[in-house]
Structure 1
C-alpha cells in the first residue's frame, strides 16, 4: 500500500510538473522563433542605450520617451544610473533625442525609475506628463509640466495611493490577448471583445488620425526574462486596423530576432514615421 501511495504521489507530481511546464511554455511562447519582417528605412536612435520602455507622440510630432527602467527579473544595461525622460522632434529631418532636465519639487532623481508615460494637453495648450515611477521598486505617479523653450520638465507633484499597484490591462501580456472595452460617461466599462495573438502583447498606442492600434510585442517571453546575450529577445510590431469590426486586420509591420533591436515594448507613429521602444535596449526610428 505504501508503495502504491508513493507511486501515486510521484505520478501526480509528474503530471503537475508537465502541466505547469506546458503552461509556462505556452504563456511565454518558449519555442517561437521570429521570421524577419524588414523595414528598409530604419535605424537605431543614437543616445538610447538603456531602454525606451514607453513613449508618447503628441499631435504636433513631439515624442516623449522613458528610458532606464530597472525592475526585478528584467535585464538592465545601466543598473547604476537613474532613469530619464527623453524628447524627440519628429518634424526634424534627422531627429535626435534630447534628455529633459527635471526641476521643481522634491523628486529624488537618484531613484527615478520611469515606466509608463501618459500625456494630456489643457485648454491653454500646456502639456503635462504622468509618469509611472518605481523608486526602490515601489509605485508612484509623477506629474510634470513640459517647458518647451527650456527643454525641461517641471515636477509638480508625486501621487501615491494604495490602489496604484492594481492595474486594469487592455493588453493581457501572458495571455497573448488584447481586450476591448467601451467607456461610458459614468466611467464604467463594458467588455466588447478580445483578440488573441501568437505573441506577448505589451504597450498599445492609438493613431489619433486613423484609430489604428500599434502594439509593441515580445514573440518569445522566455528570452526576455532569462536574458542571454548570445540568444537575445526578439522584437515585433503589430498594426491592428478596424478593431471594432467583425474582422480586424492585423499586420506584422516589423519583426527581428534580436540582432538589431531587443525586447520591443511599444510602437507609435506620426506622419509616416515610427518609433519603436524596448524594455532595456535601444530604440528604432523608421520612415514608413
Structure 2
C-alpha cells in the first residue's frame, strides 16, 4: 500500500510538473518571447514636452490630437513621481507641439493617473468631451471633461462602478456613455498572472450609460484597446494576449454581436481609426517578455501595424514601423492624420513621423 501511495504521489507530481512546464512554454509563446523585429523606420522626431510616455493618443477630424501621459501601471517602469497629465496639439500647425491642458473643476490632480482616452463630439452644438481612464491609488474610474478654449479642460464627472474594475481603454458613444475594456479579471497581481498562465479568457467589455451598466462582450484573454468605425457601426477590441483584433457589430440597444477576429502577429495595445479611410492603426509590443522584464540594455521594442479594409472578407495587415527599443520603447498607440503619424508609448517618449 505504501508503495502504491508513493507511486501515485510521484505520478501526480510528474503530471503537475509537465503541466507547469507546458504553461511556461505557452506563456513564452503568447508573450512572443523569442521574437525580434527587423528595423523599419520612418522620418520621425521626438515630440517636445513628452518624456514619460504618451500611453494613448486620439485625433479629431480637425487635426487636434489629445495625449494621455505619465501613466503609472503595475509591472511597468515609471521614471517620474509627478502626476499624469493631458496634452493637446494641433497637427495642422507647421511645427506641432504638445501643450499641457489646464484642468479645472473638482478633481484631485495630485493622484491623477490617466490611461486610455476617447473624445466625443456632440454634433448638436459641437461640444467636445474628453473621456479619460484614471487610476488614482490603483483604482479604476473614468473622468469626463469638456474641452474649452485652446488648452482648458473642465472636469464634469467621475464614474466608478464594480463592473469597471480594471479599465484599460474606452470609446465614448455619447456625452455620458461609453464602452470600456477590463484588461484583468482579478485586481490581485498574483491572481491576474495565474489567469494568464492558465489561459483563462475571463476579461470583458462593459457598456456604461447613466441608465444601465452591463457586460457587452466577454471571452477575452486580456481586452485592451477599443475604438469605433467612422460610421459608428462597428466596435474594434484588441485582445492583446491573443494577438488579435476582434470585430463586433453595434446593434440596437447597444448590443455587440461578434463578427470575426483579425490576426496581427503582435501584442497590440491601443486602437486608433483613421476618420477618412477607416484604416485601423495599432501601437504594438513586438516582444512582451522584454516589456515585462524591462532591461535598458535590451529594451522592449516598438511596432506600428495598420489594417486596411478590416470589415471586408480580406483585411490587409501590414507593418508600418518597427524599432528595437533604441529609438522608442514600448509603443502603445499609433494615430494617423493626413500624412502624419503619432507614436506614443507606455513610459518612454513619443514620435511624430511623416508617412511616405
Structure 1 position 178 matched with structure 2 position 250 = no
Q: In the aligned structure 2, how far is the partner of 1:31 from the partner of 1:218? A: 13
Q: Alignment partner of 1:72: what SS? A: coil
Deviation string 1:228-249 (CA, Å, 9 cap, x unpaired) is 1111110000010011122111
CA drift of 1:17 comes to 2.1
Structure 1 position 129 matched with structure 2 position 130 = yes
Q: Alignment partner of 2:52: what SS? A: coil
2:266 to 199, 223, 229: 199
2:46 to 22, 44, 62: 44
RMSD: 1.2
Gaps of 5+ in 1: none
Counterpart of 1:14 in structure 2 is: 17
Counterpart of 2:155 in structure 1 is: 155
Counterpart of 2:119 in structure 1 is: 119
Counterpart of 2:30 in structure 1 is: 27
Q: Alignment partner of 2:242: what SS? A: coil
List, as ranges, runs of 4+ consecutive aligned residues in structure 1 with deviation greater than 4 Å.
none
Q: Alignment partner of 2:333: what SS? A: strand
Q: In the aligned structure 2, how far is the partner of 1:131 from the partner of 1:181? A: 23
CA drift of 1:269 comes to 0.8
CA drift of 1:6 comes to 4.1
Q: In the aligned structure 2, how far is the partner of 1:185 from the partner of 1:272? A: 36
Q: Any conservation in 1 of the 2:264–2:317 contact (CA below 8 Å)? A: no
Q: Alignment partner of 1:174: what SS? A: helix
Counterpart of 1:66 in structure 2 is: 68
What does 1:229-268 align with in structure 2 at a 5 Å threshold?
A: 229-268=296-335
Structure 1 position 56 matched with structure 2 position 58 = yes
Q: Alignment partner of 1:53: what SS? A: strand
CA drift of 1:38 comes to 1.3
Q: In the aligned structure 1, how far is the partner of 2:163 from the partner of 2:8? A: 46
Counterpart of 1:284 in structure 2 is: 351
Q: Alignment partner of 2:241: what SS? A: coil
Counterpart of 1:99 in structure 2 is: 100
Higher relative contact order (CA 8 A, sep 6+): 1
Question: What is the TM-score with the length of structure 2 in the denominator?
Answer: 0.78
Q: In the aligned structure 1, how far is the partner of 2:313 from the partner of 2:345? A: 31
Q: In the aligned structure 2, how far is the partner of 1:126 from the partner of 1:13? A: 58
Gaps of 5+ in 2: 166-181, 183-203, 206-222, 224-236
Q: In the aligned structure 2, how far is the partner of 1:257 from the partner of 1:116? A: 24
Q: Alignment partner of 1:222: what SS? A: helix
Q: In the aligned structure 2, how far is the partner of 1:189 from the partner of 1:159? A: 22
Aligned residue pair count: 284
CA drift of 1:5 comes to 2.9
Q: In the aligned structure 1, how far is the partner of 2:240 from the partner of 2:313? A: 23
Q: Alignment partner of 1:33: what SS? A: coil
Q: Alignment partner of 2:82: what SS? A: coil
